[in-house]
Structure 1
Amino acid sequence: MNYLAHFFLDHTDPRPHFTAGAMLPDLGRSFGKGYRIQAIYLPPQTSAQQLLHHLNAGVERHHHADKLFHTSAFFRRHFELVKSNLYKAQLQSIPKYTYFVAHVLLEMLIDRLLMKQHPHLCDNYYNALLRTDTMVISRYMQLWGMPKEEALKFTGHFELFCTNQYLYHYQTNAGLLYGLERMYQRVMPGYFPEKDKIRLEACIAACEEAMEEDLPLLFAPDGIFRNSD
């Protein structure tokens, strides 16, 4: 799942560092190759270490939720739908790794639909992240194994994520396609020409309509995420 979907699962949790922890694995992948952030061992919680434990709980929650999501009927159905629509579009700018694009687009569309259905969700997400202590995040990343200088760069990357607030751009097709293009450039160089963007917009419309109907079932109180915290 993408950033906002992870937040939506626990959007009533009052701990901003838990919210930050739930996005660290995704942020690590965007920071650089090889940063696959997993939960770490921490000694028993004390008042001085409480925020580190909140971060760690968020990281653990992220991976558990992803495991449930990627084995769900919702994911299987809509991943195949997005992938088949991408193949049918015969996009010249996506000659390979269509499965990767389908996976990314599916998760981006979930975030977009959550913003549409819950207008204040993204505001609340960024507000929670802005209440975190970046020195605590830096300390956590050092405990995870990052050198100190690299951990400071990572917290700068975190701060940039919080100030750029690019998730809002998912609300427009232009913003969504820009984000998708940037993600694809991680595995293939190049840009989406206008002709492909038009075809991608048609793909987005078809997949989003089907997904919107099923999305409440994915996050239902008695759905796959019940009692999973």
Structure 2
Amino acid sequence: MNYLAHFYLDHTDPRPHFTAGAMLPDLGRSFGKGYRIQAIQLPPQTSTQPLLHEVNAGVARHHHADKFFHTSAFFRRHFELVKSNIYKANLQSIPKYTYFVAHVLLEMLIDRLLMKQHPQLCNHYYNALLQTNTAIIGNYMQLWGMQKKETRQFIGHFELFCTNKYLYHYQTNSGLLYGLERMYRRVMPGSFSENDKQQLEACIAVCEQAMEEDLHALFAPVGMFGKEDW
């Protein structure tokens, strides 16, 4: 799942540092290769620092939710739909890694639909992140294994994410495709042609409609993402 879907699962949780922890694995991947952030065993001396434990709980929650999402009927059904539509479009700008593009686009579309169905959700998300103490995030990342210089760069990346609020760009096709193109460049150089962008917009229209009719099935099952299971 992408950023906003993770927040939606626990949007009633009042802990900003838990919210930040739940987005760190995704932020790590956008920061650079090799930053696969997992929950850690915090040292005993952190027992008096509850905010560090909230961050760690958020990271653990992220991976728990992803595990259930990737084995859900919703994911299997709509991943195949997105992937098949991209294959049928025969996009020249995407010669390989179609499964990667389909996966990323699916998760982006879920965030877009959540914004459409819950207009204040994204605003609440960014407000929660802006309430965090970046020194706590930095401390956690050093405990995770980052060096001080890397940590400063990572905190800058976190602050940019919070202030740029780029998730709002998902609301337009141009913004969504810009984000998708940037993600694809991590695995393949180049950019999407105008013709391929038009083909992708047609794919988005078909897949978004199908997902909107079915989105409730992803979040509705009791216990599917339940905290009692992790």
* TM-score normalised by the chain length of structure 1: 0.97
- For the pair 1:224 / 2:224, whether they are aligned, the reply is yes
Question: Equivalent residue for 1:200?
Answer: 200
Taking only aligned residues, the RMSD between alpha carbons, in angstroms, comes to 1.3
CA distance in 2 between counterparts of 1:3 and 1:113 reads 13
CA distance in 2 between counterparts of 1:178 and 1:228 reads 37
Question: Equivalent residue for 1:214?
Answer: 214
Are the aligned partners of 1:82 and 1:106 in contact in 2 as well (CA < 8 Å)? yes
- For the pair 1:129 / 2:125, whether they are aligned, the reply is no
- For the pair 1:86 / 2:83, whether they are aligned, the reply is no
Question: Equivalent residue for 2:67?
Answer: 67
Question: Equivalent residue for 1:41?
Answer: 41
Question: Equivalent residue for 1:15?
Answer: 15
Q: Give the drift of 1:48.
A: 3.7
Gaps of 5+ in 2: none
Question: Equivalent residue for 1:176?
Answer: 176
Runs of 4+ in 1 over 3 A off after TM superposition: 43-48, 226-229
CA distance in 2 between counterparts of 1:197 and 1:87 reads 14
Are the aligned partners of 1:181 and 1:192 in contact in 2 as well (CA < 8 Å)? yes
CA distance in 1 between counterparts of 2:46 and 2:193 reads 54
Are the aligned partners of 1:81 and 1:207 in contact in 2 as well (CA < 8 Å)? yes
- For the pair 1:156 / 2:156, whether they are aligned, the reply is yes
Q: Which amino acid aligns with 1:82?
A: V
CA distance in 1 between counterparts of 2:45 and 2:171 reads 40
CA distance in 1 between counterparts of 2:46 and 2:141 reads 19
Question: Equivalent residue for 2:110?
Answer: 110
CA distance in 2 between counterparts of 1:193 and 1:63 reads 35
Q: Give the drift of 1:31.
A: 0.5
Question: Equivalent residue for 1:185?
Answer: 185
Are the aligned partners of 2:46 and 2:52 in contact in 1 as well (CA < 8 Å)? no
Q: Which amino acid aligns with 1:138?
A: G
Q: Which amino acid aligns with 1:28?
A: G
**Alpha-carbon deviations, 1:68-118, whole Å to 9, x = none?**
000111100000000000000110000000000000000000000000000
Are the aligned partners of 1:217 and 1:223 in contact in 2 as well (CA < 8 Å)? no
* TM-score normalised by the chain length of structure 2: 0.97
CA distance in 1 between counterparts of 2:221 and 2:51 reads 28
Question: Equivalent residue for 1:24?
Answer: 24
* Same amino acid, percent of matched pairs: 81
55-64 or 144-153, larger mean C-alpha shift = 144-153
Are the aligned partners of 2:82 and 2:106 in contact in 1 as well (CA < 8 Å)? yes
**Alpha-carbon deviations, 1:137-159, whole Å to 9, x = none?**
00000000000111111011000
Report SS of the residue matched to 1:37: coil
